[in-house]
Every structure is written in C-alpha cells, then in structure tokens.
Copies of this chain bind each other. A is one copy, B any other.
Amino acid sequence: MNVPASTPAGAARPLPGPPSLPASLRARRTGVIPGLKYRPVAPADPAKAEEVDRRLEAWARELDLFPPAWKGDFAGFQFGRAVVLQHPRALDLDRLTVAGELLLAENLVDSCYCEVEEGRGGSRRDLGARLLMAQSAIDPHHGTARSQEQWRLGMRADGPLRSYHWAMKDYAEFATPSQTGRFVHDIARLHMGYLAEAAWAETGYRPEVWEYLVMRQFNNFRPCLSIVDAVDGYELPEAVHARPEIQRITALACNATTLVNDLYSFTKELADDPAHLNLPQVVAANEGRGLKAAYLESIEIHNRIMESFEEEAALLSATSPLVERYAQGLSDWVAGNHEWHATNTHRYHLPDYW
C-alpha cells in the first residue's frame, strides 16, 4: 500500500503562541495530513453518491428522522459520498443505501443522545438508559405479548430509535443472522465506548494513552467495517470471523481508521470544546508535551497500528481467498474513510503544524 511522502516533522513551522490555546492554532490547511500512512483512492462517483443521498433523504423523510432544520448539517456529512468511498466493491446501490442508513442512524444517535455540546438533547446523566433503549431497537425484546407490543411502540418514540430499528430491518434483508448478530455486538461496543467517554467527561478523568486507546477501540468506526462483506454481497463465515487473528486485523483496521478521525477532527474539536478528548490531547497531557509534538506523535501511533494491520492482513490473506477478500474490504473501508476525511472541507481543517 502506498504511503505518500511526508513533510518531516523537523520542517514544521513554529507556532505563534502557546500551543494549548485554540486561538493559537491557525487551522488553514486542508487535504492530507503530512506523514500519515494511508492508501489513496479514486474520488467517489458523484452520480452514485447523489443517488444514495437522494434515497437516504427519502428514507429519513418517510421515517421523520430529524427536523428539516438539521438537513444542512446532515448534508454536510455527505453520507452518500462517504459510503460510496468506503464500499467501492458494493454489490449494488440498495446495499450501499443500507450502509448509508446505518451510518446516518449511528450519527443521529451520537448527535441526539451523546453530544451534549450539539444541543440536540444529548445528556450524560441518563445516557446509559437511553443507549440501552437504542440498543434494544436492534436487539429485540422478548417478553409477554403486551410488553412486546409496548416495546414495538416505544421504538417509534424518536428519530434515533426509528433510524436504528428500520435501518436494521433493511440490513437483515440481505445480511445473514450471523452478520446482523456481529453488527449488534459492534453497536454494543460502540455504546459502551460512548458511556466510558461520558463517564470520563463527567468525572474530569484524564486517561493515560493506553486507556484512551482502549476506550477508542470501543468508541470506534467498527460498526461501519462490520458490514463490509454483506455490502459486497458475500459472508465471511462467523467461525472464521471469530478467530483471534481475524478479530485482531479487524480491530487494527478499525482502530487505525478511528484515529484518522482524531487527527482530522482535532482542530474542529479544539475550537468547539478545548477539553474534548482525542489522541493528541491525551498524548500532550500524559507526556507533558505541547500539542504540536503530541499531534505528530499521534500520527506515528496511527501509522504503527496501520502498519500492523497491513502486515498481518497480508499474511492472513495468503492463507485463504475468502480472508483475502475480507481483508481487502477492511482496507477499502479504511482507505475510503481517509479520502472522505481528507476531502470533507465542510467539517475538517488541519492544524498548521508543518
């Protein structure tokens, strides 16, 4: 896999002020983070992305997922372009659209339940209860006839619940029960990650780097990579998927691509909420270093995880065409997600560290 030449850290321009202050950061750069290990991909086919967006919009409107006033924010996310980039070998537009539905649902739950600063109802205090109800939207209740009927009605209570519930129904149309079970587990992981992050925010705990990385393995893009085989029209059988070495390359790919998010959204998070946890902040706090050095070290941490993924995925791919196909799907998602981050100038700008 191709790694673009980086500007050496030594060539970085000096910062004009104390590096821990958002105002000191001139967030002007866009494009690729210098020194970041990634695989470049072709731009998304705009017609395909537009068609997925058109279908997603109809789906969201039909289910009344969010107020019209939020449309601009969600358009800025570019769901269609995201899934077209992340699933370049998708079997068809229907599956790509369901990938988009799941992505939209995940963002809606995050935005409305978890992100206190966004002002859409997010709250830390009852997050555990709300995320459990959200989990149950994809992991159905089995009780008495009455409690099941009330649960079914309850799952229509708000946009986040409706989006999880109906996106999952659409996913189960083509995914096997093992693939849907895998996804449900990965959403449980995600919710646990949200809850850990919320607990740290609540208590003001400053995690060590390894603790942050453990949390980030849960608060992670993993549910998006969980569906790569189903979207491409095949199944990596659960007995293979569950093997420790396959679990490991899955986690490595998911962790690498999640840290890419930390790096691309660093400047935005610093501006929105200077206390927002991300890898550079945690490295800076733990190692008593300025944000610039911590940012550059965070790139290195990402690169080492990415290298482990690439090396181990290559070894395993040599053992089985099916594993090779799966590892390619993971790599495609990671590469497409990088491209999305590097080009989504609506959301992201880079610090001026080089």
Contact = CB atoms under 8 A, between A and B. Distances in A.
A65 B53 CA distance: 53
A287 interface: no
Interface string A293-337: 000000001001100100000000000000000000000000000
Count chain B CB atoms within 10 A of each CB in A188, A218, A308 and give the residue with the most.
Answer: A188
Most B CB within 10 A of own CB, among A136, A193, A244, A305: A136
A64 interface: no
Nearest to A235: B239
A202 B132 contact: no
Nearest to A130: B199
A180 B237 CA distance: 16
B142 A211 contact: no
A177 interface: yes
A210 B213 CA distance: 36
Most buried by B among A131, A142, A203, A304: A142
Given A150-B210, A217-B142, A238 B129 contact: no
> Chain A: interface secondary structure?
helix
B238 A135 contact: no
A217 B128 contact: no
B185 A142 contact: no
A6 interface: no
A214 B141 contact: yes
Most buried by B among A143, A248, A301, A305: A143
Contacts of A308: 142, 144
Given A151-B214, A178-B242, A181-B242, A192 B128 contact: yes
Number of copies: 2
B217 A177 contact: no
A285 interface: no
Interface string A237-269: 111001110011001100100000000000000
B131 A192 contact: yes
A143 B210 contact: yes
A135 B189 CA distance: 9
A341 interface: no
Central interface residue in A213, A215, A308, by most chain B CB within 10 Å: A213
A103 to B, nearest CB: 21
Contacts of A252: 142
Interface string A169-194: 00000001110110011001101110
Contact of A210 (B147, B180, B200, B214): B147
Contacts of A184: 185
A218 B142 contact: no
Contact of A132 (B126, B193, B210, B255): B193
A44 interface: no
A56 to B, nearest CB: 26
Closest 8 pairs (CB-CB, A-B): A128-B195, A128-B199, A132-B196, A150-B210, A177-B242, A142-B251, A129-B199, A185-B185
5 contacts: A128-B196, A129-B196, A135-B189, A154-B211, A238-B238
